[in-house]
């Protein structure tokens, strides 16, 4: 069975059918565009109504392009084959509108130069985590039967989809690098080269996650000390071999001294020593190290309320600012914890002006419903990207990641910061993402890398327009309305039946699906809510708590510190309050917990019912898969509602003022 | 490395060294005894001071023997080779005392004819459960590398140990029969025959766990309906093939319609239909079906307080009494839940006089410390075996299992009931059981099968005398005292830092090790404590609860029903009470929870320290392994103490009256 066409069904390109098009230029991406045009039924003809040209425009924006229309001819001009390709996909998005009236020439270039997807794929199937760690869409598209797939045609399809969304980098293996996967770097680099070949026509460079212990694991050295000359030499030689096989190789992704992965600490070195050692090996070849800032004590003592996992990344990394090599990107999760439904923005992102920082987003729905629940994530990501750490008028997190933050060091500004890195939600599932509607998150993350200011709702409309394009390119209005209803606010809906008011977690340990309010409460993972019979929440104030609020610049250090100004949706992230504490919304914490969970399920029941409206209006396999997932979402949401309500009733003893039943 | 000698080190047989012994009789078990004597340094000589004879005594007790000493000659007379062997091991237990003054001739025979160990071993390593389900002692002694081991010498050693303890049946594979293991019954029966050969010299018959779906899985039939003639024929033919390979094959163990295993319900049949179908196939060959009564709804709705897992086995099986075939044994867990540290006795054991019932015990320490904690289990087992369901003067559970219960049907009495079945704690670990002291549980369960009235403390002394026999056969008194201190009350100690007052569970879901008070609270498993801010416990009364107390005959139905008479240690199993409820012991429930957990850790700290006293007095590997486990037990007990105390403080808000810290 061929995989679902996602956002590039033939109907999405129907505006090109029969049109005369002319493509001027050379290179793999240009060839790809020619192929697309032919496939869409366009006629390659110098006397064209669509002309795409590689020429000497936009020298500083190698992926940019100019787009306009005059005298019946739509033109795309780019300084590179990649730019031409991105311009072509712009034409696709415009559809028939690309061939309407005149259109003044506009210039387009990505805000983020590095727009990367991280795959947490294993070559072997991990006994607990499966083949794709935190994967909810089947096996890996890269690996099967313990090796790189012989047939990589699906990877080529994937590359095409990603190119249309704007992604230009892909890391192809899990950051938790097991011994089997470590070998991709050395003896199996030829296989990696085959994967790189599949991505190359679509302007995408391949990265590898590597083990910091590789010099020992693969090189037989007695140490992986980053300052040891033999270790540095091993990395240099190994990296040279990588580039011999893959001249446009992107670089290394490293999770070091985190959750049990090896790192420089074992040798009394720090993250700078570790990252810079790999950077030195990559620098001659133009490669980059993505060094993850996801470092914390995962053997924390729950009895110790002074240790705060939220503080960890800042405490580890902020003091290192300015010491990382130019080709090191420190990759920072958008929140200080771990991809919860609601977190404040990581203060690390405001604390390292002399370091290239990438914002790490999670497309795979680990804590957001695991692609069994509808959860359209761009609103969440945009809260992070648009967050202004220095106050409303100041630069945003996206600015920081683009190298435009305040006091950005020269190399940070010149190299455009670290961009975005997002954990992919794709597997070998028929629909790529398990839940067909989770494709929207994959599409959107690429688009936001290019243009972070895109409105999340408009982006959803754009995705619908492509994915559900009917014959002639238009979307059935019933389909559009139903999808908007289901998806637009789905993250808020998911939040409102899961952990309340920013407190996070409350998921089943291990697999992280479904409710378990106390699941992490007495564990070493640093993820607590401290609910007792009187109240709930984590005191992270400077006045009486862990002091985490002090990691923010003004005004946020004050906004979060004070109960008067802390936003309701983050209240329990920052404060421990009595159940009777009154929110800015006017209701009490306990009644909010009761109400929002019950209301959410009622709302969900309505939405589930609306899916029936599109029966016969979307392909039957899509209809069936979504219907099946909605049934599970409904079941799970009811379970969340009932467990959370019961848990807090049993603790607080306060009845639900609305009288709705508590078990 | 050869495995630890367990309770048969050479020193345990040192009283035989140099003695003249004469063995009269033929058969594999007789040969085994001759081998033991030779190995122990005895001299086979007709002019003997120890004479063991197979002769025509005790015709009704094929495993029995007579033992006496007169005129300087110790004699064992038995009606069978097995009886002779058991008499020989009696001599071993007596040690030098067997050769002291005259000894009147006494007759010995097992109370339970079926004394079975169930192994939950898989051929393949299960990705989650490992090779031995709920195994805490390494891999399987039967299987390695996906097949039956080529070298079964370790199984032979095991058989010898079991024979000395009194075990006469072993089921060699997991009751959760996966597809790989199912094939043992058919294509790999020759391999099973090799295992049976290793057991045969020690009087032990081999049983197999089989899948109720075997006719489909292995036979390619379209159904496993037990009333379908083709299915019955398949079982008959398959069973005949089994007996052709293993003439003394014991029979089948079946977990049906339980926790996802297939069973007769799928065909609208009941447990009688299912068990009798297999029994019909086994009957011509003298085989037995062990049909487990561990049947309950594991998809229970936690919101539904009217469903009570404790009721399930009785509700399913009691109505079927009298309909099972003569060669069916219904195997009943000793408690109504699942091998918790404290449970009442299963009322099923008092409800099926016309059915052969086996009491199932768990030697493997699933819920009792997983062979990382010291937990000497015979006191727990004896509470069950000595329980008198009809009141103190009446028959006991052991009587019921021996076919001597009230109103026992003729076949039940004549066949001696169903005996004992115990889940083994053995693996390929150097010490057999992971924790060296867990060997005592394995030893004791066999001895209790033979003589359930043995005192648990004396049995511990017996095990110590054999296992730690020094040169000449005596045990270093420091070693004896230390082991008694550590072990004798270890189950009470374990209970006092884990789930309180009979409420059970509170373990981490899945692996069942360590605390997680709410771990099972909102799950489908039917194992709840219902703790809220006011109180805790499960109301199982007839007056206001699930009515479970009504499954007991008088007097227990009244004793458990009333708060006035319900024993403290089972209070929360039967009643939901306020935290301030006063126990018969005089303290409140909450203060008991606080005190016993804190006291237990203090006691454990003292015991851990005493282990140092035996350094140099026990073999170093034993010392080291126990020391390592005690360190973990201490860590785990502290975790239990702190989590349980914190949990109940956060719920109740009642401080610990002793002022000991709560986190």
Confirm or reject contact between A642 and chain B (CB < 8 A): yes
User: In this structure, are residues A363 and A425 in contact, taking their beta carbons and an 8 Å threshold?
Assistant: yes
Q: Is the pLDDT of residue B205 over 70?
A: yes
Cα A418 from Cα B511, distance rounded (Å): 42
E strand residue ranges, A189-346: 205-209, 251-254, 288-292, 328-333
Interface test with B, best of A512, A518, A639 (most B CBs within 10 A): A518
Tell me if B510 and A515 make a contact (CB, 8 A cut-off). no
Cβ(A604)–Cβ(A633) under 8 Å? Answer: yes
Q: What is the pLDDT of residue B646?
A: 98
B251-254 and B130-132 strand pairing: unpaired
A602 CB contacts (<8 Å, ≥6 apart)?
A: none
CB contact (8 A) between residue A531 and residue B663: no
Peptide bond into A599 cis (omega under 30): no
H/E stretch holding A466: helix A456-467
Task: Out of A128, A519, A651, name the one closest to residue B651 (CB).
Answer: A651
Determine whether the interchain pair B651/A532 forms a contact, defined as Cβ–Cβ distance below 8 Å: yes
Best of A522, A528, A642, A645 to mutate (most B CBs within 10 Å, chain B): A522
Q: Is B49 a catalytic residue?
A: no
Instruction: Please tell me the distance from the alpha carbon of residue B126 to that of residue B132, in angstroms, as a whole number.
Output: 8
- pLDDT score recorded for residue A1: 66
Among the listed residues A222, A156, A135, the one whose alpha carbon sits nearest the alpha carbon of residue A425? A135
Query: What is the average per-residue pLDDT within B110-124?
Result: 98
Is A531 in contact with B303 (Cβ distance < 8 A)?
no
pLDDT at B417: 98
| Helix, coil or strand: residue A33 | helix
Interface contact A533-B663, CB threshold 8 A: no
CB contact under 8 Å between A651 and B533, yes or no, is: yes
DSSP string computed for B428-445? SSTTSSSSGGGHHHHHHH
- How far is it, in rounded angstroms, from Cα A67 to Cα B371? 72
Alpha-helical runs (H) found in B79-169: 81-94, 153-165
Give the Cα separation of B192 and B94 in Å (integer).
35
On the CB side of B475, CA atoms within 13 Å amount to 23
Does B128 score more than 90 pLDDT? no
What contacts B624, CB < 8 A, 6 or more positions away?
A: none
Cα dihedral value A55, A59, A65, A71, nearest 10 = -50
pLDDT digits (tens, 9 = 90+) for B41-73: 999 999 999 999 999 999 999 999 999 999 999
**B415-462 per-position pLDDT tens digit:** 999 999 999 999 999 999 999 999 999 999 999 999 999 999 999 999
In chain A (663 residues long), the average pLDDT of successive 10-residue segments reads 93 97 98 98 96 96 97 97 98 96 97 98 91 97 97 98 98 96 97 98 98 96 98 98 98 96 96 98 98 93 95 97 98 98 98 98 98 98 98 96 97 98 98 98 98 97 98 95 98 98 96 97 96 98 98 98 98 98 98 98 97 97 98 98 98 98 94
Please tell me the pTM assigned to this model: 0.94
Closest chain A residue to the Cα of B653, Cα to Cα: A533
Q: Which residue of B has its CA nearest to A661?
A: B303
Kindly state the DSSP code that residue B117 receives in the 8-state scheme: E
Interface of B with A in 78-117 (CB under 8 A): none
Can you tell me whether residue A171 is helix, strand or coil? Answer: strand
Q: Would an 8 Å CB–CB cutoff place B72 in contact with chain A?
A: no
The active-site residue, picked from B338, B428, B539, B561, is B338
Q: Which residues of B touch A654 (CB under 8 A)?
A: none
Catalytic residue among B270, B366, B569, B595: B366
Q: What is the pLDDT of residues B222-252, one digit of tens each?
A: 999 999 999 999 999 999 999 999 999 999 9
8 A C-beta contact, residue A178 and residue A124: yes
Nearest 10 degrees: CA dihedral of A545, A548, A552, A553? 50
A321 touches chain B (CB under 8 A): no
Q: Is B259 a residue of the active site?
A: yes
Please give the order of strands across the beta sheet that includes A43-44: A43-44, A20-24, A50-54, A73-78, A65-70, A103-108
Q: Which of B127, B518, B649 sits opposite A518 (nearest CB)?
A: B518
> Left if phi > 0, otherwise alpha if psi is -120 to 50, otherwise beta: which for A78?
beta
Distance between CA A462 and CA A456 in Å, rounded? 10
At B286 the pLDDT is 98
Q: Is B516's CB within 8 Å of A522's CB?
A: yes
Distance in angstroms (rounded) separating the CA atoms of residues B486 and B490: 6
For residue B1, what pLDDT is reported?
A: 66
Pick from B300, B649, B650 the residue to mutate for testing the A interface (most A CBs within 10 Å).
Answer: B650
CA distance to partner chain A, nearest, from residue B651 (Å): 5
Q: Is A150 exposed, middle or buried (0-12, 13-18, 19+ CB in 10 A)?
A: exposed
Residues of B in contact with A515 (CB under 8 A): 522
Nearest-angstrom CA–CA distance, B274 and B290 = 11
- The answer to whether the beta carbons of residues B251 and B262 sit under 8 Å apart is no
Q: From the candidates B124, B126, B506, B532, which should be mutated to test the interface with A, based on the most A CB atoms within 10 A?
A: B532
Q: What is the mean pLDDT of residues B374-398?
A: 97
Number of H helices, E strands in chain A: 20, 20
Q: What whole-number distance in Å separates Cα of residue B162 and Cα of residue B442?
A: 8
Q: Is the ipTM of this complex over 0.95?
A: no
| Residue A581, beta-bridge partner list | none
A515 near B CB under 8 A: yes
The CA-atom distances, in angstroms, between A124 and each of A186, A213, B418 are 17, 19, 47
Pinpoint the alpha helices (H) of A292-396: 309-317, 378-385
3-class secondary structure per residue, A581-617: CECCCCCEHHHHHHHHHHHHHHHHHHHHHHHHHHCCC
């Amino acid at each position: 069975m061929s995989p679902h066409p996602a956002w590039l069904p033939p109907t999405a390109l129907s505006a090109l059918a029969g049109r005369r098009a002319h493509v001027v230029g050379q290179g793999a991406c240009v060839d790809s565009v020619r192929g697309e045009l032919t496939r869409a039924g366009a006629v390659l003809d110098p006397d064209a109504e669509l002309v795409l040209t590689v020429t000497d425009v936009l020298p500083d924006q190698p992926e940019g392009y100019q787009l306009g229309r005059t005298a019946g001819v739509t033109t795309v001009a780019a300084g590179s084959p990649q730019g031409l390709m991105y311009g072509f996909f712009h034409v696709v998005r415009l559809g028939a509108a690309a061939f309407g009236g005149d259109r003044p020439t506009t210039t387009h270039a990505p805000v983020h130069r590095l727009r990367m997807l991280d795959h947490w794929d294993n070559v072997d199937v991990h006994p607990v985590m499966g083949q794709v760690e935190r994967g909810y869409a089947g096996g890996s598209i890269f690996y099967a039967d313990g090796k790189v797939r012989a047939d990589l045609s699906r990877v080529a399809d994937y590359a095409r989809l990603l190119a249309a969304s704007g992604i230009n980098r892909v890391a192809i293996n899990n950051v938790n690098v097991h011994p089997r996967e470590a070998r991709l770097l050395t003896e199996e680099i030829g296989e990696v080269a085959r994967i790189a070949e599949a991505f190359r026509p679509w302007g995408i460079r391949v990265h590898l996650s590597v083990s910091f212990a590789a010099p020992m694991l693969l090189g037989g050295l007695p140490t992986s000390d980053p300052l040891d000359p033999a270790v540095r030499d091993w990395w240099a030689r190994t990296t040279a071999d990588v580039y011999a096989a893959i001249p446009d190789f992107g670089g290394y992704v490293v999770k070091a001294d985190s959750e049990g992965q090896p790192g420089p600490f074992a040798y009394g070195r720090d993250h700078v020593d570790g990252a810079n050692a790999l950077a030195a090996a990559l620098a001659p070849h133009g490669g980059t190290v993505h060094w993850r800032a996801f470092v914390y004590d995962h053997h924390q003592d729950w009895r110790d309320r002074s240790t705060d996992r939220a503080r960890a990344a800042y405490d580890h990394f902020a003091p290192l600012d300015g010491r990382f090599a130019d080709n090191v990107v420190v990759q920072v999760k958008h929140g200080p914890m771990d991809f919860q439904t609601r977190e404040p923005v990581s203060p690390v992102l405001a604390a390292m002006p002399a370091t290239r920082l990438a914002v790490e987003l999670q497309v795979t729905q680990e804590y957001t419903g695991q692609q069994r629940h509808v959860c359209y994530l761009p609103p969440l990501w945009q809260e992070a990207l648009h967050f202004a750490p220095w106050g409303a008028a100041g630069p945003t997190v996206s600015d920081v990641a683009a190298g435009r933050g305040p006091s950005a060091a020269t190399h940070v500004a010149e190299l455009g910061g670290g961009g975005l890195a997002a954990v992919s939600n794709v597997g070998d599932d028929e629909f790529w993402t398990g839940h067909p509607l989770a494709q929207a998150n994959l599409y959107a993350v690429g688009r936001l890398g290019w243009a972070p200011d895109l409105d999340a709702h408009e982006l959803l409309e754009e995705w619908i327009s492509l994915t559900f394009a009917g014959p002639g390119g238009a979307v059935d209005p019933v389909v559009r309305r139903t999808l908007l209803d289901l998806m637009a606010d789905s993250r808020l809906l998911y939040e409102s039946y899961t952990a309340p008011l920013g407190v996070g977690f409350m998921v089943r340990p291990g697999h992280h699906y479904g409710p378990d309010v106390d699941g992490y409460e007495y564990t070493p993972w640093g993820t607590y809510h401290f609910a007792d019979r009187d109240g709930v929440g984590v005191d992270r104030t400077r006045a009486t708590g862990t002091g985490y609020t002090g990691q923010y610049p003004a005004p946020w250090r004050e906004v979060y510190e004070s109960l008067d100004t802390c936003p309701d949706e983050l209240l329990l992230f920052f404060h421990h309050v009595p159940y009777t504490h009154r929110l800015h919304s006017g209701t009490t914490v306990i009644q909010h917990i009761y109400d929002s969970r019950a209301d959410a399920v009622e709302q969900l029941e309505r939405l589930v019912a609306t899916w029936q409206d599109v029966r016969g209006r979307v392909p039957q396999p899509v209809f069936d898969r979504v219907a099946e997932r909605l049934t599970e979402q409904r079941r799970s949401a009811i379970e969340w509602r009932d467990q959370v309500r019961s848990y807090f009733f049993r603790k607080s003893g306060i009845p639900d003022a609305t009288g709705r039943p508590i078990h």
